[in-house]
Amino acid sequence: MKAIVQERFGPPDVLRQADIDRPEIGAGQVLVRVRAAALNPYDWHMLRGDPYVARLMGGVGLTRPKSRVAGIDAAGEVEAVGADVRGLRPGDEVLGFCPGSFAEYASTTAELLVPKPAGLTFEQAAAVPVGAVTALRGIRTVGRVQSGQRVLVNGAGGGVGTFAVQIAAALGAEVTGVCSARNADLVRSLGAAHVVDYTREDFTGRGTHYDVILDNVGNHPLSRLRRALTPTGTLVANGGGSPGHVFGVIGSMLRMGAVNAFVRQRLSPILPSPPAGPTHEDLLAVTALIEAGRLTPVVDRTYPLADTAEGVRHVERGHARGKAVVVVS
């Protein structure tokens, strides 16, 4: 099969297309014929082995990548199922978490897959898993957003932000989206009552206080973010850090945890990150919202499998509008 492989950590240039063997599956696993795979910040962090401390924590690899084929989000068709798998059969259209999804085939476990909503293309479906589940956890699970609350989403035009605005609005919140001017109309169309152009105004200095802030960018000091919260508000952190950081977002999380112990406000990262944790229930929750017409994936652009490296560069620049997706077959 064709796949995008990497033999060492580094920039997107280390990625190359190669012919490799199809994955073998065990009794509890599923082989998916990948039709589309979304690109995430997760992918370039794994590509670069960044932050460095993550290499010591297992799962990434110490001196070279533990996984030769990158990618995690996928949509496609079930090709084969293991002996212990129930509820899935060859030909079923699915979406979910498939490690090694930048390839024609990827293997995963049944609990990391759910049926693809009939109204979505494979490209739209591939955009769902990491982005929508992270947004759901940030807004509903960690943020505990309630109807009538003021919610601010920083990075509202991005892969997680476009989902988060819709989920918060569906819960009845008054949503403010922070994004660039070019994304303002999009963010309003997703349910934001207010939009702040970050190139013209700093939302932390507006004098408006929010019950929940979901920060997908990490470009403000913690003290300024707290200033924009109500006295008992919640800050939910998703992201921050950049290539080359020794500790990156892990260091930010540790600092946040230390401050959280001494303040009335609640400061929390989104943990655990997909694909860890109870993701099957989260995937079912977001696909239910999609089928109810309350959540729509926003696909920025698509790339053929051979151009995956260019797609990673686009996402790494940090200005994607919604999700970027690799079309595999």
CATH of the domain at 256: 3.40.50.720
Q: Is 31 part of any domain? A: yes
Q: How far apart are CA 109 and CA 26, in angstroms?
A: 9
- Encode pLDDT of 172-227 as tens digits: 999 999 999 999 999 999 999 999 999 999 999 989 999 999 999 988 999 999 99
For residues 231 and 318, membership in a common domain is answered with no
Q: How far apart are CA 242 and CA 155, in angstroms?
A: 15
Q: How far apart are CA 322 and CA 131, in angstroms?
A: 9
Domain span including residue 223: 131-269
Q: Is 248 part of any domain? A: yes
Q: Are 154 and 203 in contact (CB under 8 A)?
A: yes
What pTM was estimated for this model as a whole?
0.89
For residues 16 and 117, membership in a common domain is answered with yes
Task: Tell the burial category of 91 from Cβ atoms under 10 Å away from its Cβ (0-12, 13-18, 19+).
Answer: exposed
How many residues comprise the chain? Answer: 329
DSSP state of 56: G
Give how many domains the chain has, as a whole number: 2
- At residue 317, the pLDDT reads 83
For residues 191 and 101, membership in a common domain is answered with no
- Encode pLDDT of 274-322 as tens digits: 555 558 999 999 999 999 999 999 999 999 999 999 998 898 887 778 9
Q: How many CA atoms lie within 13 A of 271 on its CB side?
A: 8
For residues 124 and 138, membership in a common domain is answered with no
For residues 146 and 85, membership in a common domain is answered with no
For residues 230 and 168, membership in a common domain is answered with yes
Q: Is 276 part of any domain? A: no
Residue 248 or 163, more confident: 163
CATH of the domain at 119: 3.90.180.10
Last residue within a domain, chosen from 250, 269, 288: 269
Q: Is 241 part of any domain? A: yes
Q: Is 281 part of any domain? A: no
Residue 248 has pLDDT above 50, yes or no: no
Q: Is 285 part of any domain? A: no
**CB within 8 A of 2, min separation 6: which ones?**
17, 18, 19, 103, 104, 305
For residues 113 and 144, membership in a common domain is answered with no
Q: Is 289 part of any domain? A: no
- At residue 12, the pLDDT reads 82
For residues 43 and 118, membership in a common domain is answered with yes
For residues 174 and 241, membership in a common domain is answered with yes
Q: Is 278 part of any domain? A: no
- Encode pLDDT of 16-32 as tens digits: 999 999 999 999 999 99
Q: Where are the alpha helices (DSSP H) in 206-247?
A: 222-227
Last residue within a domain, chosen from 269, 287, 311: 269
Percent of the chain past pLDDT 90, that is, above it, reads 69
For residues 123 and 135, membership in a common domain is answered with no
